[in-house]
Amino acid sequence: MPLFKCSASKAKPKNGIRYITDPKKAAFVSAKNLFEDEDYAKQFEETAKRFGKGEKFDERKYYHFKLSCARKDNVTPEKAHAYAEEVAEAFFKNYECVIATHTDTETVHSHIIVNAVDPITGKKLQFGKAEYAAMKDEVNRIGKEHGYTETEFRKRGKNSRTAAEKKIILKGGTSWKEELREVIAEAVKKTKSPEAFKKYLDECYGVKITRDGKDYSYLHPNKQKPVRGAKLGENYTKTEVIKRIGEQNYRQKSGAYIGRRSGFEGKSVGNRTVRRGKTVDGGNAGSIIRASLSGIEREMQRLNFAAECAGGGLDAASEERRMDERRAREEAERRRRAADERYERGQSELAVEPADNASKDNGNGNGNTAASKYNYGKGDWRGDRVIKRENRACRGRCRRSNRCSHERT
């Protein structure tokens, strides 16, 4: 779409009309609803006075529109001027207009200055954002009919820098809006919530957020008027700021999760590595790093598995959950078998000699010949020890069944 910009002026129209009609700049000049043999600025003022308007200092007196096409369209001054006249006729049919086409820059462009007062009704020219957008759409349509390049004017850039800002940057300076962009980007990186974001801007740089509605409004400490985030660029709107803070928190949590799975989280300090609150000498750091790399490799395998499931039309989360359940069952079975093996070993260790020595004196000195299950007399420290060993060996097996017949000691 051809470039179409508007600015309202409270100054007298004399200087504005003088600028656009300057013979050094203008190749073509024309007027609409004005006498060409009379001064254009005086006719603007006379129309306003006739309806009692234009006398207040803070009153809009005229609108200044700028219209230009892309360089690759190679528009001639004649075509550019005819295009500007067609646009003026479409939007300002009854209003007084001065139209001029400039060729003093690399891009041929046109200026349209419109009197804010209707010469017939005396009503002021007024339009809001919706009307302004509709005007741009109409300019786009007219330009398309002439074969000019179409551009999406509603798309805002990541950093919406004005022409004045660009001039300051080219001269090596920094505008106050650029300072706001820098501190906002820093606050996004160093905070984890919208509340912390606001607090960081206020405490560290004195930047206050005066409005927290659909968008943020930032007040520079050296300015009296705030600026909306959309004016600074797409990256500085409320929606984008909250989105970037959330993405940053997710990345940090994902990194900590990988570190926990790999057994390594922390950072190196000198030749020592801090891991989970402990300090490890540099000699052991290699094994920790290898563990960390293996954890990252497992995470990459998980991501590859998710991609394969997506390619096969499967739900990666469900498939991974089923695999986890299967691994849990296998681990439980392995532990059960290990417990059974330990029990069998305990039973084999408790094997005793045949009961042919049951009638022998157990050596406790009291002549008690009552035979025990383990060929030891009651009260003998060796027999008590064997019984305790048997009870300990069976606990792992009998704890699960709750049908243990052994005596607890």
Domain limits, the chain: 3-145, 163-245
pLDDT at 6: 86
**26-63 burial, b if ≥16 CB within 10 A, otherwise e?**
bbbbbbbbbeeeeebbebbbebbeeeebbeeeeebbbb
Q: Which of 354-358, 388-392, 401-405 has the highest mean pLDDT?
A: 388-392
373 pLDDT band, cuts 50/70/90, is very low
Structure confidence by residue, pLDDT tens digits, 122-153: 999 988 888 888 888 888 888 888 888 876 65
Mean residue pLDDT across the chain: 75
Q: What is d(CA 13, CA 132) in angstroms, rounded to the nearest whole number?
A: 22
pLDDT at 246 over 50: yes
Residue 323 in tokens: 């695999």
pLDDT at 404 over 80: no
pLDDT at 55: 81
Q: Report which of 139, 104, 119, 110 is spatially closest to residue 54, judged by C-alpha positions.
A: 119
235 pLDDT band, cuts 50/70/90, is confident
Mean pLDDT (whole number) for 222-229: 89
Residue 84 in tokens: 């500007």
Answer yes or no: are the C-beta atoms of 375 and 357 closer than 8 Å.
Answer: yes
Instruction: Name 95's Cβ contacts closer than 8 Å, sequence gap at least 6.
Output: 32, 33, 114, 115, 118, 119, 125
Least confident of 49-63, 79-93, 335-349: 335-349
pLDDT at 317: 65
Least confident of 108-117, 241-250, 259-268: 259-268
Structure confidence by residue, pLDDT tens digits, 383-399: 555 555 555 555 555 55
Q: Using a pLDDT cut of 70, give the percent of the chain over it.
A: 63
pLDDT at 86 over 70: yes
Mean pLDDT (whole number) for 305-333: 71
Higher pLDDT, 400 or 85: 85
Q: Report which of 133, 44, 135, 26 is spatially closest to residue 81, judged by C-alpha positions.
A: 26
pLDDT at 336 over 80: yes
Least confident of 145-154, 159-168, 180-189, 254-263: 254-263
Answer yes or no: are the C-beta atoms of 181 and 258 closer than 8 Å.
Answer: no
pLDDT at 172 over 60: yes
Instruction: Name 162's Cβ contacts closer than 8 Å, sequence gap at least 6.
Output: 177
Q: What is d(CA 82, CA 100) in angstroms, rounded to the nearest whole number?
A: 10
Q: Using a pLDDT cut of 90, give the percent of the chain over it.
A: 25
pLDDT at 47 over 90: yes
Mean pLDDT (whole number) for 18-33: 93
Instruction: Name 357's Cβ contacts closer than 8 Å, sequence gap at least 6.
Output: 375
Structure confidence by residue, pLDDT tens digits, 280-292: 444 444 555 555 5
Answer yes or no: are the C-beta atoms of 27 and 77 closer than 8 Å.
Answer: yes
pLDDT at 354: 47
Other CB atoms within 10 Å distance of the CB of residue 166: 11
Domain boundaries 3-145, CATH class: alpha beta
Q: What is d(CA 206, CA 357) in angstroms, rounded to the nearest whole number?
A: 95
Higher pLDDT, 363 or 294: 294
Higher pLDDT, 318 or 407: 318
Residue 69 in tokens: 């096409």
pLDDT at 118 over 90: yes
Q: Which of 44-58, 87-101, 341-355, 390-404 has the highest mean pLDDT?
A: 87-101
